[in-house]
Amino acid sequence: MGLDLESARSRPRHLGVRPAAARVPLAMARFTLHAVAPNRPDVVAAVTQSLADIGCNLEDSRISLLHGQLSIVLALEALGISDGTAVEEALTPLLEELALQLFVRPIPDGGDDLDLGNLVEISVRGADRPGTVARVARAVAAAGGSIVDLAGQVVAQDTASPSRLEITAALAPQAVPRLRAALEDVATDLGVTWDVRERSGRAT
């Protein structure tokens, strides 16, 4: 699913909610919402209020500013709404007002079953060059890990290590040595430095 201004104008408006006589029992559906808009003070307030107005409850959220663009990712519950199109249509007035782009997709049952029992935090520092994130992500995958959070930033180029990457990954304890070895290869090839820590803070 996705929504832009032209398709929103031509689409019949409905909220996908059953008539009052057929509302019992109401089903609870879960969706992820992904939106991007130029940064301005009222974007987050407008989006979250529109969702609240149709009864959506936010379960998880991540909002970041990337080069002047506000990136919004939300996981939400929607009571009595079975189709993500209804969520998109609730935000239709904001498409032009905020230059908002968005799409909504359902969360399948079992979509949050990833075992997060053992997490590692990975820090990488070095020169800004193409492929660094890909190489580190491949190292995590090769060790059997799953990335659950990633944040990268390029700071002033006149510093010794302008590229900074922070990753949190779910990884079995016995796989940490394999990850360390893979990251050492990345460091040799790309000239970066790295550090791996378990969530408890103990250096590995």
> What's the pLDDT tens digit per position in 70-106?
999 999 998 888 888 889 999 999 999 999 999 999 9
Domain that holds residue 160: 119-198
In this structure, is residue 203 part of a structural domain? no
Query: Which residue, chain included where needed, has tokens 């987050």?
Result: 44
186 phi and psi angles, rounded to 5 deg: -60, -45
204 in a structural domain: no
Residue 200 pLDDT class (50, 70, 90 cuts): low
pLDDT at 47 > cutoff 60: yes
Alpha-carbon gap, residue 113 to 56, rounded angstroms: 22
- 21-39 pLDDT, tens digit each: 444 456 778 999 999 999 9
CATH number of the domain within which 54 lies: 3.30.70.260
- Residue-wise pLDDT for 147-185, tens only, equals 999 999 888 666 667 889 999 999 999 999 999 999 999
Q: What is d(CA 171, CA 81) in angstroms, rounded to the nearest whole number? A: 36
Do residues 19 and 99 share a domain? yes
* Domain finish residue from 78, 106, 134: 106
Radius of gyration in angstroms for the set of CA atoms belonging to the chain, rounded to a whole number: 21
Written as six digits, the tokens of 3 are 């929504």
Instruction: Give dist(CA 49, CA 192) in Å, integer.
Output: 44
* 113-150 pLDDT tens trace: 566 778 999 999 998 889 999 999 999 999 999 999 99
Q: Indicate if the pLDDT at residue 202 is higher than 50.
A: no
CA angle 10/28/21 to nearest 5° reads 75
Predicted local distance difference test score (pLDDT) of residue 114: 61
Structural domain contains residue 111: no
For residues 97 and 23, membership in a common domain is answered with yes
